[in-house]
Amino acid sequence: MRKVTILMFLFFLTISSMKPTYAYYEKRPEYAVGWLYTPIASGLSVRFPVQPNIYLQPLFSLSFYEGENSNEGNYALGLRGTLGFPNASDLYPYIGAGLGHHRVFHSTESQTITDEERTGYQVFFGFEYRKHIIHPALELGITSIYRSDGSIRVGTSVNFGIYYYF
pLDDT digits over 130-140, tens only? 999 999 999 99
pLDDT digits (tens, 9 = 90+) for 21-73: 444 444 555 899 999 999 888 899 999 999 888 999 999 999 888 877 778 88
Quick check: 47 and 163 in contact, CB under 8 A?
yes
Q: Which helix (H) or strand (E) holds 26?
A: none
**9 φ, ψ (degrees, to nearest 5):** -60, -45
